[in-house]
Amino acid sequence: MEDFFFEPYKIKVVEPIPITTREERKKIIKDAGYNVFNIPAGKVTIDLLTDSGTSAMSQDQWAEIMRGDESYAGSKSFYNFQETIKSIFGYKHVIPCHQGRVAENILFMNLLKPGDIALSNTFFDTTRANVLSKGGIPIDVVIEEAYDPEIEIPFKGNVDLNKLEDTLKKHGERVKIFVLTITNNSGGGQPVSLKNIRELSHILKKYGVPLFFDTARYAENCYFIKENEEGYENKSILEIAREIFSLGDGAMMSAKKDALVNIGGFLTFNDDELAEKVKQTLIIIEGFPTYGGLAGRDLEAIAVGLREALDEEYLRARIRQVRLLGNYLMEKKIPIVKPVGGHAVYLDALKILDHIPQSQLPAQSLTCAIYVEGGVRGVEIGSLMFAEKDEKTGEVKYPRNELVRLAIPRRVYTDNHILYVGKVVESVFEKRNKIKGLRIIKESKYLRHFTAILEEVN
Ligand code: F0G
């Protein structure tokens, strides 16, 4: 029976799930301006909007919450937090902040000037917006295969080292940082190999460009390395993590993912001068450097969560559940990004809704149709999120893919919930020809997908 799979935890607290009718959902989506961010969570049956801040915490995390030390300065909880992070990441300075985008903001405020360039395999949307808001220029140098949902290779989040060298040669000293997103969220939750990280690190050292990791889902990335990279089969997840971080200069983390908490983040790196500047900024916008916008109890929960997420049995259950959904959809011949990534299944809306042009936001249309069908909330990663309008010519540059991300919260849903999602998507797929496109009637300048209001194109 050793091979029989089961989750390495049992359930102690349960939360009821909202049930709605199709008629209600049709009205809800219209009232929400065809933007799922405007739907009250109480009207969502299975919420796959994000895997961020949506994890179920463990009994040990809840226990530590009771032990949190809420001292303004020098809290015991900070020292626990700092020690745990140093033991995994190995960098000298640990700076707490309340979520990942603050870490990005504080770091870029002190590293980037207008006209500077920041590179990444693929910037996540907030990371990209944080570069742009400092007047910086974000450039992605991921391998070409990452843009093709059909190509199945194990490390589809890898950096294209030729593109990287060309960009470094072309822009020289204007390049101020490389941010490696592990796993690569915008690219389908795809991992980066240690071989690629080693080569990347070598090239960046040659050009004097610091390497920072965006580590929201680094534990999942480590699991893929253990599973698929030669020479790492017998290493622990922690050993793999330490090897990754030894190749860079620092990391930022949204603890809301692989630290299994509902809020939190941090920055960690070696540079003393940068640490002084970052702490000054932190005091102005977040809080004193031993709490950084978090309660002491949050720091404790993060410390425990970071250790729990490195547990291989937990990771095996996690990745298996994401694959359960991916494999179900592939069996039904529904186009998804392959291979299935670490935290989500990404539906290929360009293929599923090939009758809707990109100007009418096919991925957003599919997201709305899935909500109406079964109360399942996913999120668009397509033109609503990424299309760019040239201010002068008015010409719109569309992204290469139109995806719907079904992100799976950690330790929250059972396999039955996941199979229900599979059935809902299958049912939408069967009547895909009836789905209509959308047009934007109101939008903001940055990150418009959060607040845009849309209507159906008839
Ligand atoms: N980096 C990555 C790779 C992310 O996926 C996110 C957030 C952030 C940084 C920002 O962190 O939310 O704590 O400020 N991703 C969430 C998502 C929102 O749904 O993928 P944050």
**Each residue of 75-116: pLDDT tens digit?**
999 999 999 999 999 999 999 999 999 999 999 999 999 999
259-286 residues labelled b (16+ CB within 10 A) or e (exposed): bbbbbbbbbbbebeebbeebbebbeeeb
Q: Is residue 186 lining ligand 1, measured as CB closer than 6 Å? A: no
Give the strand order in the sheet containing 250-254: 93-97, 265-269, 250-254, 211-214, 175-181, 117-120, 137-140
Domain ranges (residues) in the chain: 22-51+311-456, 59-308
With beta carbons less than 8 A apart as the criterion, state whether 90 and 242 touch.
yes
124 C-beta closer than 6 A to ligand 1: yes
pLDDT tens track of the chain, all 458 residues?
Answer: 778 889 999 999 999 999 999 999 999 999 999 999 999 999 999 999 999 999 999 999 999 999 999 999 999 999 999 999 999 999 999 999 999 999 999 999 999 999 999 999 999 988 999 999 999 999 999 999 999 999 999 999 999 999 999 999 999 899 999 999 999 988 789 999 999 999 999 999 999 999 999 999 999 999 999 999 999 999 999 999 999 999 999 999 999 999 999 999 999 999 999 999 999 999 999 999 999 999 999 999 999 999 999 999 999 999 999 999 999 999 999 999 999 999 999 999 999 999 999 999 999 999 999 999 999 999 999 999 989 888 889 899 999 999 999 999 999 999 999 999 999 999 999 999 999 999 999 998 878 999 999 999 98
**Which pLDDT score, from 0 to 100, does residue 212 have?**
98
- Check 226, 256, 343, 449 and give the catalytic one: 449
Task: Say how far apart CA 309 and CA 301 lie, in whole Å.
Answer: 12
pLDDT at residue 333, rounded to an integer: 98
- Give the separation between CA 413 and CA 390, rounded to whole angstroms: 42
Dist CA 35 CA 380 (whole Å): 9
In the reported structure, the alpha carbon of residue 257 is separated from the centroid of ligand 1 by a whole-number distance in angstroms of 8
**From ligand 1's centre to the CA of 21, what distance in Å?**
31
The CATH number of 22-51+311-456 is 3.90.1150.10
Question: Cα–Cα distances in Å, from 109 out to 102, 266, 368, 394?
Answer: 10, 15, 36, 30
Does residue 265's CB lie within 6 angstroms of at least one atom of ligand 1? yes
Annotated active-site residue 93? The verdict is no
Question: What b/e readout covers 87-116, taking b as 16+ CB neighbours within 10 angstroms?
Answer: ebbbbebbbbbbbbbbbbbbbbbbbbeeeb
Strands 93-97 and 265-269: antiparallel
407 is catalytic: no
Residue in 36, 47, 52 to alter for ligand 1 test, most ligand atoms within 8 A of Cβ = 52
Q: Which of 97, 185, 263 to mutate to test the pocket of ligand 1 (most atoms within 8 A of CB)?
A: 185
337: alpha, beta or left, given left = phi > 0 and alpha = psi -120 to 50?
beta
| CA separation for the pair 259, 309 (Å, rounded) | 6
The answer to whether the CB of 101 is under 6 A from ligand 1 is yes
- Would the CATH topology of 22-51+311-456 be identical to that of 59-308? no
The answer to whether 125 is a known catalytic residue is yes
Active site residue 124: yes
pLDDT score, position 152: 96
100 lines ligand 1 (CB under 6 A): yes
Pocket test for ligand 1, best of 192, 257, 345 (most atoms within 8 A of CB): 257
Token representation of residue 363: 């991925």
Which candidate in 30, 60, 86, 125 is catalytic?
Answer: 125
Residue 72 a catalytic site member: yes
Helices (H) and strands (E) in the chain, counts: 16, 16
CA of 52 to the centre of ligand 1 (A): 7
Query: What is the fold, at CATH topology level, of the domain defined by 59-308?
Result: Aspartate Aminotransferase; domain 2 (3.40.640)
Active site residue 415: no
- The closest-lying atom of ligand 1 relative to the alpha carbon of residue 343 is 20
Distances (CA, A) of 108 to 176, 212, 274, 277, 282: 10, 11, 11, 11, 12
Please tell me the residue having the least CA distance from ligand 1 atom 12: 100
pLDDT at 160: 98
